[in-house]
Amino acid sequence: MLQIFQTAHYVPQKIITNEDLSKMMNTSDEWIYSRTGIKTRHIVETENTSDLCINVARQLLDKANISPEQIGFILVATMTPDYQSPSVACQVQGAIDAHQAFAFDLTAACAGFVYALHTAKGLLHDLPAGQVGMIIGGETLSKVVNWQDRTTSVLFGDAAAGVLVRSSEEFGIIKSRCYADGHYAQSLTSGFIANQSPFRLSQEMISDKLNMKGRDIFDFTTRTVANSLDEFLGEAKDSVDYFLLHQANVRILDIMAKKLKVDRAKFLQNMEYYGNSSAASIPLLLSESVEKGIIQMNSHQQLVFSGFGGGLSYGHILTTI
Ligand code: ACO
């Protein structure tokens, strides 16, 4: 089984409050907090996604007390890389000198971390004995949001968080499944790259900024994703200790708990302080919960991760830790 055995997270220093945003645009703390559950978010001043991810990678090595040569692969889930090439994962690999590791990025928006863990199950089989995998979700969404658009810019924050994984007989992923529905691809777009060919016959005028039909995704999540999570868990639902869902909106967590008929207190949350950090949100919540002692390594606690977002893509993981 794929076991998560170390966690770490990093957020940029600068904190932007709802009050700060209300001085920049026609919004208010009352609207943002009551509609989303978000109070503050961290925003980069000088850093890019690779800087946040490299910080997390160094912490993971330090905390686990392992050498970079023991890393067999590095997988970074991000929709806001520094470049299209090189990947953030290769930038991390170089920065920490993990010269035994292959490295690549994976894009599944807010489902990115769940997609990465699901993918990594297959990668673990080929690792030489003693090697481990590094999986990081890292985003600087502040560089793709349209800061004139109050309907999206108030939602997102910058962050990175990650885990080390290895094979284990005792702890790990019991079950995982990923899904996509590209019919809703236009519900969330970001980073459009126009045809620049000198032979082009026409030019599409699409913004490269993040554009989201929030209500459509809200409805999709609270219907389709909720139903699929319920079906995915089946009877196993009753033995879950904590649910770590993508941190997009507190109202989504409320509805999910109600639909699944699960005690709301089992749904951990931290979007109040970080907003929606896309692929970073689930590992950030996991790492913080480990730091606070709510989640304990080697405790046999059962956890559910569920990510959903652009694509539309979504996925679920049931794991022991
Ligand atoms: N301040 C004040 N008013 C606002 C703001 C704001 N920041 N933003 C929107 N409004 C107004 C709108 O203009 C609208 O006004 P109107 O009724 O006069 O037209 C009203 O508030 C309601 O707007 P809605 O968009 O219907 O608000 P809703 O209750 O749906 O909340 C939100 C919007 C928070 C985006 C919600 O739909 C949501 O959380 N959606 C899911 C997002 C999500 O899960 N995304 C996936 C992950 S992201 C990823 O993959 C990168």
pLDDT at position 206, please? Answer: 87
* Contact predicate 57/29, CB 8 Å: no
For residue 221, which of 286, 285, 310, 158 has the smallest C-alpha distance?
A: 310
- Judged against a pLDDT cut of 90, whether residue 229 lies above it is answered with yes
pLDDT at position 91, please? Answer: 98
211 is catalytic: no
Could you tell me which residues are beta bridge partners of residue 134? 74, 164
pLDDT at position 165, please? Answer: 98
Q: Provide mean pLDDT across the span 100-107.
A: 98
Average model confidence (pLDDT) across the chain: 97
How many whole angstroms from 152 Cα to the centroid of ligand 1?
Answer: 7
Backbone φ, ψ for residue 218 (5° rounding): -60, -50
pLDDT at position 60, please? Answer: 98
How far, in Å, CA of 284 to CA of 59, rounded?
13
Ligand 1 cavity residues, CB under 6 Å: 27, 31-32, 35-36, 109-110, 150-151, 154, 188, 214-215, 217-218, 221, 248-249, 276, 278, 309-310
Position in ligand 1 atom list of the atom nearest CA 249:
39
pLDDT band at 88 (very low <50, low <70, confident <90, very high): very high
Q: SS3 helix, strand, coil % of the chain, rounded to 5? A: 40, 25, 35
User: Which pLDDT tens digit goes with each residue over 60-79?
Assistant: 999 999 999 999 999 999 99
Would you give the end-to-end CA distance of the chain in angstroms? 11
Q: Which of 30, 113, 215 to mutate to test the pocket of ligand 1 (most atoms within 8 A of CB)?
A: 215
Domain extent listing, the chain: 1-320
Backbone φ, ψ for residue 59 (5° rounding): -60, -40
pLDDT at position 203, please? Answer: 80
- Judged against a pLDDT cut of 90, whether residue 140 lies above it is answered with yes
User: Which pLDDT tens digit goes with each residue over 175-199?
Assistant: 999 999 999 999 999 999 999 899 9
Report which protein residue has its CA nearest ligand 1's atom 33.
214
110 is catalytic: yes
Question: Which stretches within 37-171 are classed as H helix?
Answer: 49-64, 88-96, 112-124, 150-153
- Judged against a pLDDT cut of 90, whether residue 205 lies above it is answered with no
| Residue range 1-320, CATH number | 3.40.47.10
How many whole angstroms from 3 Cα to the centroid of ligand 1?
Answer: 37
User: Which pLDDT tens digit goes with each residue over 236-254?
Assistant: 999 999 999 999 999 999 9
Looking at this protein, which amino acid is placed at residue 280? A
- Judged against a pLDDT cut of 90, whether residue 170 lies above it is answered with yes
Three-class DSSP category at 233: helix
User: Which pLDDT tens digit goes with each residue over 12-59?
Assistant: 999 999 999 999 999 999 999 999 999 999 999 999 999 999 999 999
246 is catalytic: yes
